């Protein structure tokens, strides 16, 4: 019975998707992935309930949705601890410091040649590993998580912003010279604005990195609240529906902040060729 339902859903779903994908109109371009996502959820649901997959292996989407509703106060407390206290301040401080450092480096070619290779080296490294050190230095609470996030977000911003400050061409720089603009004016009116796409790139990248940093840092010790704490302890107790509920929250937090940043980027860098 389940097998029949499964095969039937696969077949109809595949057919509908193939039909939708043929059309190039914007509505269909959005509808196709949405239908695909719903199909995946539906297949997941009937496989879990139909074959009676044990809850400790893979809870069905309905159980996860129920867990989100049931544990809403816990989820909200974890969200407050991890996202509002650690991720957002850490992300803002780390990205801000990276941007300021890039501007400071910009003034000295000597330092730039010394720091930038190190910066790109460090941004390719497993920085989450500093989490135990930060927990030791700043204690179990959100401060240590924010510190991990600061370090993780600093280097991508430094490297990207430095690259962005280097993109202005000789023509624009010459034009600023004919305006008799000083270093400060050139920086503020020409080079910083043209570096903005790079800065936004780093901000979006950092949004995900910051969430990962805070969640992983909580695996090394927390007060008894926080998304990473909940995920690791409830996974050990096999309460997988709660774990999935936390993952849904983390995914929502990540994609919403990413979308907001993309929206802001569109508004602020409306002049960029990629929006024409």
Partner 1 sequence: MRDRLSRALPLLCVLAILIAVWFAGSVAMNWDQAQDLADEDATWSDIAQATLALDRPLLPTPDQVASEMIRSMFGYPPTSPRSLVFHAGVTAWAAIVGFGIALLAGMALAIGIVHVRTLDRALMPWLIASQAVPVLAIAPMVVVVLGNVGLTGVLPKALIAGWLSFFPVTTGLVKGLRSSDPMQRDLMRTYSATEAQVFAKLRWPAAMSFLFPSMKVAAPLALVGAIVAELPTGAQAGLGARLLTGSYYGQTPQIWAALFMAAFLAMLAVALVDLTQALAAYTRGGRL
Nearest of 218, 172, 214, 201 to residue 264 by alpha carbon: 201
Least distance between partner 1 and beta carbon 78 (Å) = 12
Q: Which stretch binds partner 1 (CB under 8 A): 1-9, 25-33, 167-175, 185-193?
A: 25-33
**Identified binder of partner 1 from the candidate list 50, 61, 132, 166, rule CB under 8 A:** 132
Please give the angle made by the CA atoms of 271, 102 and 88, to the nearest 5 degrees: 80
Nearer to partner 1, 21 or 92 (CB): 21
Q: Which of residues 199-258 bind partner 1 (CB under 8 A)?
A: 204, 207-208, 211-212, 215-216, 219-221, 227-228, 231-232, 235-236, 238, 240, 243-244, 246-247, 250-251, 254-255, 257-258
- What is the x/- site pattern for partner 1, positions 44-73, by CB under 8 A? ------------xxx---------------
Q: How far is CA 68 from CA 62, 80, 217, in A?
A: 10, 16, 23
Q: Which is nearer to partner 1, 89 or 254 (CB)?
A: 254
* Site map 110..129 versus partner 1, x via CB under 8 A: xxxxxx-xx--x--xxx-xx
Minimum Å gap between C-beta 193 and partner 1 is: 25
C-alpha to C-alpha distance for 173 and 14, rounded to whole angstroms: 55
Residue 174 CB, nearest approach to partner 1 (Å) = 26
Given the complex with partner 1, which of 132 and 166 has the nearer CB atom? 132
Nearer to partner 1, 175 or 252 (CB): 252
For the chain, the three-class secondary structure string (H helix, E strand, C coil) is CHHHHHHHHHHHHHHHHHHHHHCCCHHHHHHHHHHHHHHHHHHHHHHHHHCCCCCCCCCCHHHHHHHHHHCHHHHHHHHHHHHHHHHHHHHHHHHHHHHHHHHHHHCCHHHHHHHHHHHHHHHCCCHHHHHHHHHHHHCCCHHHHHHHHHHHHHHHHHHHHHHHHCCCCHHHHHHHHHCCCCHHHHHHHHHHHHHHHHHHHHHHHHHHHHHHHHHHHHCCCCCCCCHHHHHHHHHHCCCHHHHHHHHHHHHHHHHHHHHHHHHHHHHHCCCCHHHC
Stretch 141-160: interaction string toward partner 1, x if CB under 8 A: --------------------
Does 264 help bind partner 1 (rule: CB under 8 A)? no
- Total residues in contact with partner 1, by rule CB under 8 A: 65
Q: What residues line the site for partner 1 (CB under 8 A)? A: 14, 17-18, 20-22, 29, 32-33, 35-37, 56-58, 110-115, 117-118, 121, 124-126, 128-133, 135-137, 204, 207-208, 211-212, 215-216, 219-221, 227-228, 231-232, 235-236, 238, 240, 243-244, 246-247, 250-251, 254-255, 257-259
């Amino acid at each position: 019975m389940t097998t029949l339902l499964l095969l039937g859903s696969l077949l109809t779903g595949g057919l509908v998707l193939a039909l939708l994908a043929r059309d190039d109109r914007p509505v269909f371009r959005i509808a196709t992935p949405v239908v695909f996502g719903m199909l995946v959820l539906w297949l997941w649901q009937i496989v879990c309930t139909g074959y009676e997959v044990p809850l400790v292996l893979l809870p069905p989407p309905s159980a996860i949705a129920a867990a989100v509703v049931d544990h809403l106060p816990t989820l909200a407390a974890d969200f407050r601890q991890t996202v509002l206290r650690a991720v957002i301040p850490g992300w803002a401080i780390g990205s801000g410091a990276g941007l300021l450092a890039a501007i400071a480096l910009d003034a000295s070619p000597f330092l730039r040649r010394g720091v930038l290779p190190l910066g790109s080296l460090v941004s390719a490294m497993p920085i989450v590993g500093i989490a135990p050190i930060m927990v030791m230095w700043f204690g179990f609470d959100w401060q240590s998580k924010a510190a991990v996030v600061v370090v993780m977000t600093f280097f991508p911003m430094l490297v990207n912003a430095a690259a962005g400050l280097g993109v202005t061409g000789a023509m624009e720089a010459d034009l600023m010279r004919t305006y008799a603009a000083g270093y400060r004016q050139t920086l503020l009116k020409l080079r910083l604005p043209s570096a903005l796409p790079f800065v936004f790139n780093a901000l979006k990248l950092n949004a995900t990195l910051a969430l990962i940093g805070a969640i992983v840092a909580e695996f090394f010790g927390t007060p008894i609240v926080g998304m990473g704490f909940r995920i690791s302890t409830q996974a050990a107790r096999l309460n997988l529906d709660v774990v999935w509920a936390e993952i849904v929250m983390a995914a929502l937090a990540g994609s919403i902040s990413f979308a907001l940043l993309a929206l802001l980027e569109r508004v602020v860098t409306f002049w960029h060729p990629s929006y024409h």
